[in-house]
Structure 1
Amino acid sequence: MPVIHQTLTLVKKDLVLELRQKYAFYGILLYIISTVFVINMMMGQPEEKVWNALFWVVQLFVSVNAIAKSFIQESRGRLLYFYSLVHPRCFIAAKLLYNILLMGLMSVIALVSCIIFLGNPIINIGYFTGVVMLGGLSLSLLFTMLAAIAAQANQNAALMAIMGFPIMMPLLMLLANIARSAFVPVLQPGLPNMFLLLAGMDVLIIGLAMILFPFLWKD
């Protein structure tokens, strides 16, 4: 079975399971809308710096809730079954692709919710939307790798949060700084270097996931 076919088959499997278990998707959707609504009730429509910070905090918790279940829902027996059928790199690649798609959708929903409830201080909406999609991609890659590591322990979600905190803080600060250019009419200095740094972090996470996951899966 070709590697690409194995990967795409696993992605399709996750999509089918998501469509059958709609309560998980609707739960995350309710979480996004209720969180943004509560922020609106407490703060109204904040200024652009606060709006930007709040948006990325919402993105962080959405990514944790959306991606943590990707490995938690896989039982030991099911993982053993997949271990006998597919290569571990195909399995982790499928999880990465599926979570990228999921976070892309959740990022759009979070952006629309924030604009509706918190106002729209964004000057360059196209640029900000692109940064949001890149941020969703980066967060999905990071937390997929962390979820794969934490799946070997009993306290999955707690361990993922503990391991992810030192890594996600620089990532969130980088994303917030990149997104800041969407709120001002002038170009922010050093922007290309920040995009290169973000791309480098994404490539590093993918490389680590491909190298480490086969060893994790053997355990």
Structure 2
Amino acid sequence: MSGLHQTLTLIKKDVLLELRQQYAFYGILLYIISTVFVINMMMGQPEEQIWNALFWVVQLFVSVNAIAKSFMQESRGRLLYFYSLVHPRNFIAAKLLYNILLMSVMSIITLVSCMVFLGNPVTKFWYFIGVVMLGGISLSLLFTMLAAIAAQANQNAALMAIMGFPIIMPLLMLLASVARTAFVTVYQPGLSNMFILLGGMDVLIVGLAMILFPFLWKD
């Protein structure tokens, strides 16, 4: 079986599990809507800068809840079974791609929820959509790598949040800065450098995952 076929088969397996265990998806959906609704009850419709900050904070917690289960739902016996069948790089590649797909869906749901309950201060809609999708990809890649590490520590989800805090803060600040252009009509200097930095971080995370995960899986 080729590496591409192994990766696609693992992605299909995760999609089928998600469709069969729909309670997990609906639980995250309820979390998104209830969180945004509570913000609306407390603040109404905030101004642009606060709206932007709140959106990315909600995205952060959604990504933790959505991606933590990618490895936490895999038992030790199942991981051992996969270890005997597929290459570890194909396994982590499938997890990365599946979580990108999942987080893209969650990002759109979060955006729609925020616009419904918190208003729509975005002036450059399609630009903001693009930033949201890029942000969802970055968050999914980062937390997938952290979930893989935490899975080797007795499935400790708290470890993922602890390890991710020093890394996620600069990423969130970068995403908020890039997204700020969607709320104003003037050009923001240094925007191209921010996109390059964001892309470089994503490439670095993927590279680290491909290099480190085979050693993690051996343990």
Tell me which residue corresponds to 1:141. 141
Q: Secondary structure at the match of 1:18?
A: helix
Deviations 1:2-59 (A, max 9, x none): 0000000000000000000000000000000000000000000000000000000000
Q: Secondary structure at the match of 1:170?
A: helix
Give the partner amino acid of 1:157.
Answer: A
- Give the TM-score normalised by the residue count of structure 2: 0.99
Task: Kindly state the Cα deviation for residue 199 of structure 1 after the two structures are TM-superposed.
Answer: 0.2
Tell me which residue corresponds to 2:180. 180
Mark the runs of 5 or more structure 1 residues left unpaired by the alignment.
none
Task: Kindly state the Cα deviation for residue 153 of structure 1 after the two structures are TM-superposed.
Answer: 0.7
Mark the runs of 5 or more structure 2 residues left unpaired by the alignment.
none
- The 8 Å contact of residues 128 and 179 in structure 2, kept in 1 or not, is answered as yes
Aligned counterparts of 2:38 and 2:196: Cα–Cα separation in 1: 35
- Give the TM-score normalised by the residue count of structure 1: 0.99
Alignment RMSD (CA, Å):
0.5
Task: Kindly state the Cα deviation for residue 187 of structure 1 after the two structures are TM-superposed.
Answer: 1.3
Task: Kindly state the Cα deviation for residue 62 of structure 1 after the two structures are TM-superposed.
Answer: 0.1
- The 8 Å contact of residues 149 and 216 in structure 2, kept in 1 or not, is answered as yes
Q: How many residues align?
A: 219
Tell me which residue corresponds to 1:41. 41
Q: Superposition pairs for residues 23-38 of structure 1, below 5 Å?
A: 23-38=23-38
- Runs of 4+ deviating beyond 2 Å: none
Of all paired residues, the percent bearing the same amino acid is: 84
Give the partner amino acid of 2:59.
Answer: Q
Tell me which residue corresponds to 2:120. 120
Tell me which residue corresponds to 2:195. 195
Give the partner amino acid of 2:207.
Answer: G
Aligned counterparts of 1:25 and 1:203: Cα–Cα separation in 2: 28
Task: Kindly state the Cα deviation for residue 155 of structure 1 after the two structures are TM-superposed.
Answer: 5.4
